[in-house]
Chains A and B, each alone.
Chain A
Amino acid sequence: MIARIAALIRFPFGLRGAPWLPLIVLGAVLVFAAGGEAFAPQDPNGLDLGVSFHPPCWQQGGGLANPLGTDNLGRDVLSRIIAGCRISVIVAFYAIVFSGGIGALLGMVSGYFGGKADALLMRLIEIQQSIPAIALALILAAVLEPGLNTVVIVIVLTYWSWYARIIRGEILALKGRDYIAFARVAGVGTPTIFFRHLLPNIRNTLLVLATLQVGQVILFEATLSFLGLGIQQPDVSWGLMLADARQYITNAWWTITMPGIAIMLTCLSANLVGDWLRDLLDPHLRQL
């Protein structure tokens, strides 16, 4: 992600109109994710019932020890939000890499070869999309243990088809191009065609899709946590914080609002950046 952004900045016209604020927010998230607990003022899992429900520092009863307050088990909200950055990035990274990788590969194969492989893939996509994702998540979490791995697996199984379908469309359009036909005639092997001719052309699409998926992944994880099937202790995720704080919405507003704001800012930033990238690199994807 960082390398991609660095590559983009080399575009001479890329800087103009770039959404600075979202990029800064995303950068901060990445920094926190990399630095991890070093940034957190306290142990995100440090349970201390004696200090539960301390309000944020600007309210009566709050203090600088817990700038954003503490939750129902006395854990520091700010530290948990920072720890949540890492989980969000990890989940988003693995989810995007695997669902994007698998989906793109299948899309390329199906779009390029057509025929039976294509028909099979379209059926698989249809089957997968017709099974409610939540039902799938539930069943998987019952078979495996709920946790980080299960969340990633569920997201991959849900979102691969999104990539596959779009990449397939791209490949279908590319297939007709002359230079692909020439390469075939010249006897260039299929893997070479894939990696040297097709892949560079869909790189931009993949980038846009990946960025747009970040927000969806975070929201999906939050929904899984709402059901109790998302990230589990001792991992911390914003979705988990949100789901756990539901019943304190009236008497401890910060426990549910702070993680909600973290989610909102990150998703909004990712979507705005994705939007900008799409307008910049691949305007015909506006239909997404």
Chain B
Amino acid sequence: MRGLRVSLLAAFLFAAPRVALSEETPAKGDLVVALAAEPTTLDPVKYAAGVDTYVLTDLFEQPLKPDPSGKTQNWLAESWSMGGTPDKRILDVHIRPGVTFHNGDPLTAADYEFSYQRLRDPAQSRWSHRQALIESFEIIDSLHFRLHFREPDAGYVADELQLWAMPKRYFEQVGAEGFAKHPVGTGPWRFVSWQIKDEMRLEAYDNYWNKEHRPGVKNLTIKFIPEDLTRVAAYKTGAVDWIDAVPPAMVQEFRSLPNTATFSAVDGNNLFIELPQDLPKSPFNDVRVRQAAAYAIDMDAIISKVLFGQGKRYAELGEGEPGYDPALKPYPFDQRKARELLRAAGYPNGFDTSCYNLTTPREPNMKEMGEAVFAYLSAAGIRCRIVQMEYGAWITHGRRGRPGQPLDGPTSWMWGHGVPGDAGTPWSGHLHSYEPGKGWGDSSHTSDSQADTLLEQARRALDPAHRADLLRQIAFRKHAEVLGGITTYQPLVTFAWRADTVKFQPWPWPGFWRSFQELGRKQ
């Protein structure tokens, strides 16, 4: 545990952008990298899962961006402020001058209005709900615009002001299909080609606006290699220079390989064991049963043995998130206490339940992790009948308002807080009680009015300190009453690259660290 924290701290320190790794002159040379998962789209309004942001981050940019140490910087926004009245907020944004798209067009407020219109249109965008609280878009001049909110939305700011810079003129020229085939953005890389399931080619954009943090190589080939051993073989045989997702079992080995640099970080996902708390008759309605489940799991042993240490334990909030309080510690492993609590709740001989496990490895070794967790539950008396589910069935299983059997037993679940991390949106989805049609709790199986009130306040709290305090209060309540599931761990992802030829500075978001913002070739 301590070792993990130290190495994470070291990773953050190492990653701090004190030294710009890039050159001013146009980049030269080639690099080949391998990703473990392939994005399905390069259109910022159509992405659905974290994996889709892996390459999006190289082509498109948002007004704000967290730097390698996790601090949010102004990025495409030169400056911004939140004004207006407490009920009718106005977000005022000045665009950085001198930013151009890959086709040469300059970035203006008209492009942002175009982006806003695309994002809020449910016929085109998967993210229209994120723009729901905006009333209107106002262009002041070509580098200045305002967003008028109908209700305060703290989540908007937490999401780096969301609006991706998309080229209006180019889109009108080539249409949606042309844009999908050949996307154009403001990012450090420009799109060259994409053979689906094989490789993608990008080229460094010479007129990229940020001269301090930019790629140091001209041509980038991204190979997609989902099978672990094959990806490792690709690195070891020299076919690729940088790989994503070193398998947990091989992280130790990679750290000691000659001429290999590695980087490990929390990849932004948060895993937990969801418990059903709002079914008419369920043992888990009793807080003692939920606490018993929390005490029954030896998460440290699981992280150490099943995940080879490639996971970070967390209690409700990850380190670095607003509201994080080191005083809030995860439930310790105590089987005796678990059985006591079960007895107190009226289950001296335990009880039987279905337990739902995800078999598709969205995170490494999730299936084994789930099996271990359920084995611990069974040992304490919560006897699990394991139901294995592949991704498609699993993702529907947790949603509310869908046909079929409701979630009626412990379920291995996840909802990433992102990097650097913010629990607002995830908790709105799986902690707040389910309110059909209102946008709350669409994947929630909890119903706690105190948590609900605090979450609704947090949505409106634009003052970061106030919001952090609210999130802290929610975390403590969530922990004590075991609401919204038992938090387990945050997976770590490890990258590896050739130390003598590759320079790599990991940037956290977008892309969950798989960002080639500062990837270069050593001279």
Give the residue of B298, B301, B305, B390 whose beta carbon is less than 8 angstroms from that of A228: B390
Minimum Cβ distance to chain B for residue A39 (Å): 23
A234: chain B residues at CB < 8 Å are 386
Contact of A233 (CB < 8 Å), options: B250, B365, B386, B393: B386
Contact digits for B248-267, partner A, Cβ 8 Å, 1 yes 0 no: 11100100000000000000
CB distance from B30 to the nearest CB of A (A): 29
Picked from B249, B365, B372, the residue with its CB within 8 Å of the CB of A49 is B372
In the complex, A141 Cα to B248 Cα: how many Å?
A: 29
> Judging by beta carbons under 8 Å apart, are A49 and B367 in contact?
no
Q: Does B78 contact A (CB under 8 A)?
A: no
Complex Cα distance, B303 from A49, in Å, reads 10
Cβ of B274 < 8 Å from any Cβ of A? no
Residues of chain A from 237 to 283 with CB closer than 8 A to chain B in the complex? 244, 246-252
Closest to B364 in A: A247
Asked whether B403 is an interface residue with its Cβ less than 8 Å from the other chain, the reply is no
B305 touches A146 (CB 8 A): no
- Is A47 close to B, CB under 8 A? yes
Contact A247 B372 (CB under 8 A): no
* Docked complex Cα distance between A145 and B356 (Å): 11
Judging by beta carbons under 8 Å apart, are B367 and A247 in contact?
Answer: no
Contacts of A250 in B (CB 8 A): 229, 232, 249-250, 253
1/0 contact trace for A136-163 toward B, CB 8 Å? 0000011001110000000000000000
Question: Which residues of chain A are within 8 angstroms of B372 by Cβ–Cβ distance?
Answer: 47, 49, 73
| Interface contact A73-B367, CB-CB below 8 Å | no
User: What mask results when residues 93 to 123 of chain A are scored 1 for a CB within 8 Å of chain B, else 0?
Assistant: 0000000000000000000000000000000
Q: Among the listed B304, B306, B375, B390, which residue makes an inter-chain contact with A141, where contact means beta carbons less than 8 Å apart?
A: B390
Interface string of B288-315 (1 = CB under 8 A from A): 0000000000100110111000000000
**Interchain CB contact under 8 A, A246 and B229:** yes
Whether A251 lies near B253 (C-beta < 8 A) is: yes
> Are B229 and A228 closer than 8 Å at their CB atoms?
no
Is there a chain A Cβ closer than 8 Å to B316's Cβ? no
A228 near B360 with CB under 8 A, answer: yes
Is A209 an interface residue when CB atoms closer than 8 A count as contact? no
- 8 A Cβ contacts from B167-187 to A: none
User: Do A244 and B306 have beta carbons less than 8 Å apart?
Assistant: no
Interface of B is mostly: helix
Interface string of A34-71 (1 = CB under 8 A from B): 00000000000001011010000000000000000000
B325 at interface (Cβ–Cβ under 8 A)? no
Query: A246 to B390, Cβ gap below 8 A?
Result: no
Q: Are A146 and B229 in contact (CB under 8 A)?
A: no
In this assembly, does B420 line the interface, its C-beta being within 8 Å of a C-beta of chain A?
Answer: no
Chain A residue numbers with a CB within 8 Å of B392 are 142
A228–B247 CB distance below 8 A:
no
Chain B residues near A47 (CB-CB < 8 A): 371-372, 375
Set of chain B residues within 8 Å of A145, measured between Cβ atoms: 387-388
The answer to whether A249 and B388 touch (CB under 8 A), given A142-B393, A228-B360, A228-B367, is no
Q: Assuming A228-B359, A250-B250, is B306 touching A73 (CB within 8 A)?
A: yes
> Which of B364, B365, B389 counts the most A-chain CB atoms under 10 A from its CB?
B389
The answer to whether residues A73 and B371 also contact, given A49-B306, A249-B229, A251-B253 and a CB cut-off of 8 A, is yes
- Nearest CB in chain A to that of B371: its residue: A233
Instruction: Judge whether A204 is part of the interface by a CB distance below 8 angstroms.
Output: no
Q: Is B206 an interface residue (CB 8 A)?
A: no
Give the residues from 200 to 255 in chain A that come closer than 8 angstroms, CB to CB, to chain B: 228-229, 232-234, 244, 246-252
Contact A246 B386, beta carbon cutoff 8 Å: no
Question: Residues of A contacting B232 with CB < 8 Å?
Answer: 250
Would you call A72 an interface residue if the criterion is a C-beta within 8 Å of the partner chain's C-beta atoms?
yes
From B302, B357, B368, name the one whose CB has the most chain A CB atoms within 10 angstroms. B368
Q: Evaluate contact between B301 and A49: CB separation under 8 angstroms.
A: yes
Is the pair B390, A49 in contact by a Cβ cutoff of 8 Å? no
The interface residues of chain A lying within 8 Å CB-to-CB of B305 are 49-50, 52, 72-74
The answer on a CB contact under 8 Å between B390 and A229 is: yes
The answer on a CB contact under 8 Å between A248 and B249 is yes
Closest to B232 in A: A250
Contacts of B105 in A (CB 8 A): none
Residues in chain A near residue B212, CB distance under 8 A: none
**B481: interface (CB < 8 Å):** no
Complex Cα distance A10/B389, Å?
49
Chain B positions 354 through 376: 1 when the CB is less than 8 Å from some CB of chain A, otherwise 0: 00010110001101100110010
Q: Are A49 and B302 in contact (CB under 8 A)?
A: yes
Q: Are A72 and B388 in contact (CB under 8 A)?
A: no
Contacts of A244 in B (CB 8 A): 367-368
Given that A142-B393, A146-B388, A246-B228 are known contacts, is A251 also in contact with B250, CB under 8 Å in the complex?
Answer: yes
Measured in the bound complex, the distance between the Cα atoms of B301 and A251 in whole Å is: 20
Q: Which residue of A lies closest to B227 (CB)?
A: A246
Name the CB-closest residue of B to A231.
Answer: B388
CA distance A101 to B54 in the complex (A): 52
Closest beta carbon of chain B to A58's beta carbon, Å: 22
Q: Nearest B residue to A51 by beta-carbon distance?
A: B305
Give every chain B residue within 8 A of A249 (Cβ-Cβ).
229
Collect the chain B residues with CB atoms within 8 Å of residue A146's CB: 359, 388-390
B457 smallest CB distance to A (angstroms) = 41
CA distance A274 to B107 in the complex (A): 73
A251 contact set on B, CB distance < 8 A = 249-250, 253
Query: Which 9 pairs show the lowest CB-CB distances between chains A and B?
Result: A228-B359, A49-B305, A47-B375, A232-B388, A49-B301, A247-B247, A233-B386, A52-B305, A247-B228
Subset of 25 A-B contacts with CB under 8 Å: A47-B372, A49-B302, A49-B304, A49-B306, A50-B305, A74-B305, A142-B390, A142-B392, A146-B388, A228-B360, A228-B388, A233-B357, A244-B367, A246-B228, A246-B229, A247-B229, A247-B248, A247-B249, A247-B250, A247-B365, A249-B229, A250-B250, A250-B253, A251-B249, A252-B249
Having A47-B371, A49-B304, A249-B229, one finds 15 other A-B pairs with CB under 8 Å, namely A47-B375, A49-B305, A72-B306, A73-B368, A73-B372, A74-B305, A142-B390, A142-B392, A147-B388, A228-B388, A233-B371, A234-B386, A244-B367, A247-B229, A251-B253
Which B residues contact A (CB, under 8 angstroms)? 228-229, 232, 247-250, 253, 298, 301-302, 304-306, 357, 359-360, 364-365, 367-368, 371-372, 375, 386-390, 392-393
